[in-house]
Structures are given as structure tokens and as C-alpha cells.
Amino acid sequence: MSAIPTTTVTQLPDDAVLVDVREPHEWEAGHAPGAIHIPLGELPSRIGELPETDDAVAIVCRSGGRSARAVQWLAQQGYDVVNVEGGMLEWHRTGKQLAGDGDPTIL
């Protein structure tokens, strides 16, 4: 198995295309502003919703595990993608802005 391409929250450009693969209740608890929500289980059927971009699409989940699986699968489909290390827990820890109405402790 090849290495999964990764980036950190702090390395992620402000204008990066971000796809959040968490479950709906996690998304509602808090997500990156402007992120696209496609739960991991729906990714194969919603792959057409991924935006076209010249840059790698960043994939995020709670802590990096589900997004790593998504990155591995999407890369096999020919997409330029990177896993966001530490996921939304790291996003929140670094103080980056959150959108949503829920409880960020369940990010």
C-alpha cells in the first residue's frame, strides 16, 4: 500500500477545497466554513459532487482515520486528494473558525 498524501490544518490554504466525510451529527456540531459535506458511506454514490479544481482536494473527518480511507479510495479513482492530519479535532484545537449550531466537543 502506498503512503497516503497528507497535509496539516496549519498548512491548509484558506481557500482550499475541503470535503468533510463525517456523519451528519458530527457536521452539525461544527465544520469548516465553506466545506462540502459528503459522509464517507455516501462518497461512492456522490463522487460526482466533488468540485473540479487545479489543487488537491483536502478530505477531513473527526481525527483523520475515515478521511485517510476516503483519500486512499479517491486516489485510486484518479482524484488529487490529501488527508487533513488530526481532522476537525485538530482544526478546533488550533482555533480555526467553525460553522454549525451543535456542540464542538463531539467534533
Q: Is 6 a catalytic residue?
A: no
SS (H, E, C) the chain: CCCCCEECCCCCCCCCCEEECCCHHHHHHCECCCCEECCHHHHHHHHHHCCCCCCCEEEECCCCHHHHHHHHHHHHCCCCEEEECCHHHHHHHCCCCCECCCCHHHC
Options 57, 61, 74, 88, the catalytic residue: 61
Give catalytic residues, as residue numbers.
Answer: 61
